[in-house]
Amino acid sequence: MDKTNALRDLHGVGEKLAAQLNEIGIHTITDLLLHLPFRYEDRTRLTPIGSVLPGQRVLINGKIEYSGVVFGRRRSLIVVLNDGTGLLYLRFFHFRQQQQHAYKAGGHLRCFGEVRAGYKGLEMVHPSCQRISERQLNDPPDGQLTPVYPSTAGLQQLRWLRLTEQALLLLEKNRLPVTELLPAAVRKQFELPMLKPALQQLHRPDASVDTAQLAAGRHPAQRRLILEELAAHQLAMKSLSRQLASLKAPVLNDETLQSKILKQLPYRLTAAQQRVIQEIDADLQNHSPMLRLLQGDVGSGKTVVAAMTIARAVASGWQAAIVAPTELLAEQHLRSMQGWFEPFEIEPVWLTGKLTVKARRVAMEKIRTGAAVVIGTHALMQPEVEFQRLGLVIVDEQHRFGVGQRLALRDKGMAEDSENADKHRPHQLIMTATPIPRTLAMTAYAGLSISIIDELPPGRTPVKTVAIAADRREAVLQRVAEACRNGRQAYWVCTLVEESDQLQAQAAEQTAEALQKALPDLSIGLIHGRLKARDKEQIMQRFRNAELSLLVATTVIEVGVDVPNASLMIIENAERLGLAQLHQLRGRVGRGATESSCVLLYQPPLGSMAKARLDTMRRTSDGFVIAEKDLELRGPGEVLGTRQTGLQQLKIADLTRDHELLDDAIDLAAALESSSTSAAKRLIKRWIGGAAVYGEV
Ligand code: ADP
Ligand code: MG
């Protein structure tokens, strides 16, 4: 018989249902089978009504003692069930006349639902019910656990049961293209059950199954599918890297400017900086585009690495662009790059959204006619910005950008190369201060090469961190004042849950006023996202020159601000911030040789998550430890910004739960690749389908 895979071939699937399923990523019957229950209900045992407790989900039987419609606050159908051990009320707010007839007194029902303490006694609201005859009261219930599927508005569990029932039947009859892709030897090596029985078991587990194992995601059938999925992702990434290698990029091999700038630096590069520069340099001399993630904790000195990379591109005759997520950070890069490049008569061009129309036109013209170094915000990614020969793109703090934006810049490519009609792709360096745990990097960023600066410049002292309840704010204030009077400089960070710039700015303004009133002898500055670029720059300049001793700020200073003399930071409402953000903020201090402190002011009582975050901050300043903890507390989707990464495309695997399986998955992928390329291809198609481009960031 013919194979099928179309949802519309299932009974009961029309255009509307198919569309609903598509929306949650189910396009084929195979996808439907890979849509696994997220929990199971035990309807395999009957519970005597006399022994049920509120909160339990149970299967009960009984004779209908009473049935009638009551008109209380809401009209409802009440059915009273008696099984000889006790009475239980069933309550239906939505019911049809038909149901009312079916549930007449004297009949018998078998019901499953959650028991709660009702007004008159124990009750179930909208249980699922089945009419039975008196004889059937003693029939053994279902031998299988009842699956509960993740669903979407308007799709009842019964629908899922009917759909998966049909899909499983087709699977049974070999009418689906769901075939075993893992060779017997590979299954044996990794101790994996076959695909078909694994799917059968997960959709319809026997009553004998180890439910705890199932709930933990550790059942062999689950392990089989998780490993298969993770291996598919590995294979997809490898295939993407191969595709990338087939694209063309400019060869950047002129080192003269690099060594000139290097000679002018007031410090020696750390060993880690030298190593990553070598790694990048090796890529830039290749014909294929570099796609490299540069991780380095806050303050590790990524900017000079970026400058070295740019110098190579520029000396080799290509344009280089650096894109920052905020104006403030872009300005800081501009200043750094000016310092490095202007001595060699290279004037960086500056483009942000806040330029005047005229300045913008001038900047765009310079970019179009080949300006060597271009610095800006996401405004650089707009389609009307044209480069003459873009050879290198550096994206700073990538977690602020979506994949789409990054693609936009990369796809600018460049004008046609004169000798060569092929379009070149620029090399790409993504810099992030958010350490990405190895587990995530391997899956979300596989296909990217990774360079890590794992060493801070010498002479740094660790930041002492304390958490203090807000009712001791006054004492903290006095300590800050004293430190400032002794020539130290401090940040006072205001946080708001609201994303709104305006509200944040207001809160910071009020705080600044209040602080100035309390400490009239201190010079206090204020910086927030609503200030004009020029005003922001002016305030930062005054803070840098130590004309201001206290800087009240919103989280705009989270990224990149570099004032080595600032050694004290107060973060208000620290309990509201995530670990990554706290770590970034704290990275603004501890950049000089004086001992720095960070005070996390919090509003008690602390929830358990908030407490765990603050404890982590007190215990460690290691960005990788913090990132791992963040992952543990929040889950991978959150850490990377789910929408940006394609991580949501994991159907079954859960990186928080399954990271121990990653090594096996990599081995499995390798084993599969060497045993059958066609199986590898089909595996990618099964799990990732047409979405395989997402890894190319
Ligand atoms: P980040 O990695 O957070 O972007 P930056 O590039 O802003 O870090 O560098 C942080 C500070 O460290 C800057 O003041 C920079 O001048 C300084 N710095 C960078 N590299 C070195 C080094 N090798 N030795 C001493 N100071 C350095
Ligand atoms: Mg930086």
The pTM score is 0.63
- Ligand 1 within 6 A of 569 CB? no
- What is the DSSP track for 134-202? GGGGGS---SBPEEE----TT--HHHHHHHHHHHHHHHHTT-SS----S-HHHHHHHT---HHHHHHHH
Distance 366 CA to ligand 2 centre (A): 26
- The class of domain 256-453 in CATH terms is alpha beta
Residues with Cβ within 8 Å of residue 11, at least 6 apart in sequence: 162, 166
Distance 487 CA to ligand 2 centre (A): 26
- Ligand 1 within 6 A of 564 CB? yes
Distance CA 476, CA 586 (A): 17
Distance CA 225, CA 318 (A): 47
- Ligand 1 within 6 A of 562 CB? yes
* Residue 144: strand pairing partners: 206
Tokens 């029985």 belong to 197
Quick check: 515 pLDDT over 90? yes
- Ligand 1 within 6 A of 177 CB? no
- Ligand 1 within 6 A of 296 CB? yes
Distance 459 CA to ligand 1 centre (A): 11
Distance CA 617, CA 633 (A): 13
Distance 562 CA to ligand 1 centre (A): 9
Compute the CA torsion angle 309, 311, 317, 319 (nearest 10 deg).
Answer: 70
Q: Has domain 463-620 been given CATH number 3.40.50.720?
A: no
Q: Whose CA is nearest to atom 26 of ligand 1?
A: 457
- Ligand 1 within 6 A of 304 CB? yes
Q: What per-residue confidence (pLDDT) applies to 651?
A: 80
Q: How many CA atoms lie within 13 A of 362 on its CB side?
A: 8
Q: What per-residue confidence (pLDDT) applies to 637?
A: 46
Quick check: 48 pLDDT over 90? yes
- List the chain domain ranges: 7-40+148-209, 45-141, 256-453, 463-620
Q: Whose CA is nearest to atom 10 of ligand 1?
A: 299
45-141 and 463-620, same CATH topology: no
E strand or H helix that includes residue 535: helix 533-544
Quick check: 353 pLDDT over 90? no
Distance 91 CA to ligand 1 centre (A): 67
Tokens 């929990």 belong to 39
Give the pLDDT confidence of 485-508 residue by residue, as tens digits. Answer: 999 999 999 886 555 667 777 788
Q: What per-residue confidence (pLDDT) applies to 389?
A: 93
Q: Whose CA is nearest to atom 18 of ligand 1?
A: 301
Mean pLDDT of 182-206: 95
From the CA of 273, the nearest ligand is: 1
Q: What per-residue confidence (pLDDT) applies to 282?
A: 97
Distance CA 474, CA 477 (A): 5
- Ligand 1 within 6 A of 629 CB? no
- Could you say which of 1.10.10.410, 2.40.50.140, 2.40.10.340, 3.30.750.210 is the CATH number of the domain covering 45-141? 2.40.50.140
Quick check: 441 pLDDT over 80? no
> Distances from the Cα of 453 to the Cαs of 321, 617, 620, in angstroms?
22, 21, 18
The percent of residues above 90 in pLDDT, for the chain, comes to 49
Distance 324 CA to ligand 2 centre (A): 9
Distance 620 CA to ligand 2 centre (A): 21
Burial tier of 321 (Cβ tally within 10 Å: 0-12, 13-18, 19+) = buried
Q: Whose CA is nearest to atom 17 of ligand 1?
A: 301
pLDDT band (50, 70, 90) for residue 578: confident
The token duo for 371 is 């300006």
**Inter-residue contact 37 to 204 (CB < 8 Å):** no
Distance 304 CA to ligand 2 centre (A): 9
pLDDT band (50, 70, 90) for residue 693: very low
Provide the b/e sequence for 613-626 (b: ≥16 CB within 10 Å).
Answer: bbebbeeebebbeb
Give the pLDDT confidence of 55-105 residue by residue, as tens digits. Answer: 888 999 999 999 999 887 788 899 999 999 999 999 998 888 888 888 999
**3-class state of residue 397 by DSSP:** coil
Give the pLDDT confidence of 621-653 residue by residue, as tens digits. Answer: 888 788 778 777 765 544 444 333 333 457 888
From the CA of 294, the nearest ligand is: 1
| DSSP3 helix / strand / coil % (the chain, rounded to 5) | 45, 20, 35
E strand or H helix that includes residue 110: strand 108-117
Mean pLDDT of 614-622: 92
Give the pLDDT confidence of 386-440 residue by residue, as tens digits. Answer: 999 999 999 886 554 443 444 445 455 433 344 443 567 899 898 887 666 665 6
From the CA of 295, the nearest ligand is: 1
- Ligand 1 within 6 A of 622 CB? no
Distance 560 CA to ligand 2 centre (A): 4
Q: Whose CA is nearest to atom 27 of ligand 1?
A: 457
**3-class state of residue 213 by DSSP:** helix
Residues with Cβ within 8 Å of residue 177, at least 6 apart in sequence: 3, 5, 30
Q: What per-residue confidence (pLDDT) applies to 128?
A: 86
- Ligand 1 within 6 A of 270 CB? yes
Query: How many angstroms separate the first and last alpha carbons of the chain?
Result: 43
* Residue 492: strand pairing partners: 552, 570
- Ligand 1 within 6 A of 233 CB? no
Distance 326 CA to ligand 2 centre (A): 12
- Ligand 1 within 6 A of 301 CB? yes
Mean pLDDT of the chain, nearest integer: 85
The token duo for 380 is 């650089």
